[in-house]
Amino acid sequence: MATEVRVPTLGESVTEATVATWFKKPGDQVAVDDMLCELETDKVTVEVPSPVAGTLAEIVAAEGATVNAEALLAQINEGAAASAPAAATPAESTAAPAAQTIAVMVPVLGESVSEATVSTWYKAPGDTVAQDEMLCELETDKVSVEVPAPAAGVLGQILAAEGSTVQAGGQLAVIGGEISSAATPAQASVSAAAANSHDVEDAPSAKKLMSEAGLSRDEVTASGKGNRVMKQDVQKALAATQAATQAAAAPQAAPIPPATPIRAAVSTDDAAREERVKMTRLRQTIARRLKDSQNTAAMLTTYNEVDMTEVMALRNEYKDLFLKKHGVKLGFMSFFTVACCHALREVPEVNSEIDGADIVYKNFVHMGIAAGTPTGLVVPVIRDADSMSFAEIEKAIAEKGARARDGKLSMAEMQGGTFTISNGGVYGSLMSSPILNPPQSGILGMHKIQDRPMAINGEVVIRPMMYLALSYDHRVVDGKGAVTFLVRVKEALEDPRRLLMDL
């Protein structure tokens, strides 16, 4: 039976690729997931694995050929490689039974998350693992996901190395089977190619560019697999050559001021001391969402200040009793959460979102509490915060804050928020303009409590003051509603008894 090998999905807006290198030739036996060839697009290099075990019968698209998405690359005759174990004699079968293998798969990543990056492997091929022992950690654009061992055994083969991108439901590794220093057939092919770079064909686009520019292969530093020269390598070499030519010609064109060589030396020294680190998926998502928020919403910020005297006095009076009864400390966040829920009932548009041509009003408050973590900002959500007590809110904030710092938050715990509170005061911020957390229409920024002289009843007194900032989407929230919301929060915090009387 013949199985077709076709061009895989190349990515958004990419319709064609060039066949860069074939690692197998007709007649070679291949295993499942054995790397057959490598395709080169204008953006990335794509590896094509074997979908079945068997014998490579025919290569339809030769090296250098341009192929479209889903085009036929080759054909594999199934059975030769797959049936080899079955051809063993009964004596051999009795003496050496095949080891059972268990696949380690990418777990469910969460709603709307289709891929992840392999962050860290905690085990190496040949290591003994216990069931549920953590094998590796995946990083999505929202959370880190731990992958436990599905069964006890020996880690045999790692199919997705650190830094590689894996799809939901894809295979990460194999537990059981033979342990070989060659790791995988694909890795063996690449290692052999790297050992003898002359056996590796450079990318067709790179060869063409080198020919046009008159560059030899020795003048280009290869970055592709198996010491393969890629198109971008040639482009870098050309840029370096051009820069060197310009530098050599510069003294003849004009005298160089004495300061120039010094600046050049300092610049080179600075470059040597720089560190380039790839952005994590979480950081990339934070950057994208914040910029999307600015581009989408008509964002505006209104400010006010609140006298924290009454809240601080109430907290100091009851914090010991509160801790003794509820087992959690009484902080300021519960006061602000309750005050915001109170204000949102009066100004519901701040607790709404725009969906196309509709405004969706939320008759509940799922409060997002922004939390800084070592890997970036996350916003765990406290659901139905408007129906919770002070103690329930404090417990929820403490529990989710700890899970956020440990990277243990699930996708569900960070979705569905209707309003957000961000406390920059814990870092010493005196005033700032928070950015909306889409698709929400409002976010409250808390800041540092600072003693300031205030005019109270005609006298100057020192009071603990905090600036408040409400950023809102002006498309759905008018200035009157935004100011009213912030005033209600201010009133509730300056006289917490209003919360008990629903005033």
Protein fold of 1-97 = OB fold (Dihydrolipoamide Acetyltransferase, E2P) (2.40.50)
Task: Say what the pLDDT of residue 195 is.
Answer: 41
Q: Going residue by residue through the chain (503 aa), what tens digit of pLDDT does each one get? A: 778 888 887 766 677 888 888 888 888 888 888 888 888 876 667 888 888 888 888 888 888 888 887 888 898 888 644 433 333 444 343 333 445 678 888 887 765 667 888 888 888 888 888 888 888 888 876 667 788 888 888 888 888 888 888 887 788 888 886 554 444 443 443 344 334 444 455 665 677 677 777 777 788 887 665 566 776 677 788 887 777 766 665 555 455 455 444 444 556 777 777 887 877 766 777 787 778 777 888 899 999 999 999 999 999 999 999 999 999 999 999 999 999 999 999 999 999 999 888 999 999 999 999 888 777 778 899 999 999 999 999 999 999 888 888 877 777 788 889 999 999 888 888 999 999 888 899 999 999 999 999 999 999 999 999 999 999 999 999 999 999 999 999 999 999 988 877 76
CA separation, residue 478 to residues 409, 442, 474, 484, 487 (Å): 35, 12, 6, 10, 14
Give me the residue label for tokens 């509603």: 481
Within the chain, which residue ranges are assigned CATH 3.30.559.10?
282-501
Provide the 8-state DSSP code for 292. H
Please answer whether residues 445 and 471 qualify as being in contact, where contact means their C-beta atoms are separated by less than 8 angstroms.
Answer: yes
Match 């920024």 to its residue by tokens: 445
Q: Please, what's the largest Cα pairwise distance for the chain?
A: 104
Distance, CA of 348 to CA of 362 (rounded, Å): 8
Contact between 135 and 122 under an 8 Å Cβ cutoff? The reply is yes
Active site residue 326: no
Residue with the two structure tokens 């005019």: 455
Predicted confidence at residue 313, as pLDDT, reads 94
**Which listed residue (42, 132, 199, 478) is catalytic?**
478
282-501 maps to CATH 1.10.10.10: no
Radius of gyration of the chain (CA): 31
Catalytic site residue from 269, 474, 495, 502: 474
CA distance 245 to 237: 12
User: For position 459, what pLDDT does the model report?
Assistant: 94
* CA–CA dist 447, 334 (Å, integer): 15
All CATH 2.40.50.100 domain ranges of the chain, comma separated, are 1-97
The Cα-based distances of 67 to 25, 71, 147, 353 in angstroms read: 19, 6, 36, 45
Residue 342 φ/ψ, nearest 5 degrees: -65, -45
pLDDT at position 91 is 39
Q: 478 an active-site residue? A: yes
454: left (phi over 0), alpha (psi -120 to 50) or beta: beta
DSSP assignment of 93-132, as one string? HHHSPPPP-EEEE-----TT--EEEEEEES--TT-EE-TT
